[in-house]
Amino acid sequence: MSVQELTDILRNSRKIVFFGGAGVSTASGIPDFRSANGLWNQKYKRNLSPEEMVSRSFFERDPEDFFAFYKDKLVYPEAKPNACHYALARLEKMGRLRAVVTQNIDGLHQMAGSTNVFELHGSVLRNYCTRCRSFYDVNFILEADGGVPRCPKCGSIVKPDVVLYEETLDDNVIDGAVRAIAGADTLIIGGTSLIVYPAAGFVRYFRGNKLVVINKSVTQADEYADLVIHDDIAQVMDQAVKALEEQQ
């Protein structure tokens, strides 16, 4: 019944925005960042949280261990888009989805075919020299000699275009995401527990007709959403969009 309700909402919407988190990519084999356990700490004899390990200060203080953790826990080069990513791309082609706002850094939305994607926390697929700003792809990071990627042009460290803890979000991305959410007639919040700020606070800009929450666990938006589905988002979105396509 819930999937049918979602299909009905999609059919009656023309300016949908999808706001997603880590749960969108788990079906692609990318675990939730917060599931990064203590094994890394044991390996390196550290007593740091995952958040501390991907902080700006740790990047500057200990780049060797930063990149060891980063490449082990945040980069999944073999990951492919799942049914949710493809369903959203099809919604965009149908002229119903206006934008995807994502907290993920894996680039899977674009790989699936979505074109208007606001990556709040950046992307592992983009990497820049901290001095000369030369661009490098993800393979350059993964294959770096000695673990720390250094620019062959100037010798400086190449940093992933990912927003680390202690860093601020990109103003242009924020502006685009807020404008998209504010102009939506339907906002779908999916695969996120809405506990990471400032990103989670963006949903307050929504003034549209229908708010939908799809997440396996309870979120703080459940109480004021028009439709709440506690189920696997890949299956739910795939079923709802397929049902919509059959009605076209």
Helix, strand or coil, per DSSP, at residue 204: helix
Catalytic residue among 85, 109, 121, 230: 121
Long-range contacts of 39-43 (CB under 8 A, 24+ apart): 40/69, 40/72, 40/73
Contact 139, 71 (CB under 8 A): no
Contact 121, 162 (CB under 8 A): yes
Contact 240, 7 (CB under 8 A): yes
Give 238: exposed, middle or buried? Use CB within 10 Å, 0-12, 13-18, 19+: buried
Helix, strand or coil, per DSSP, at residue 228: strand
For the question of residue 121 being annotated catalytic, the response is yes
Q: Where are the alpha helices (DSSP H) in the chain?
A: 2-11, 39-44, 50-53, 56-61, 63-73, 83-93, 108-112, 138-142, 171-182, 233-247
Active site residues: 121
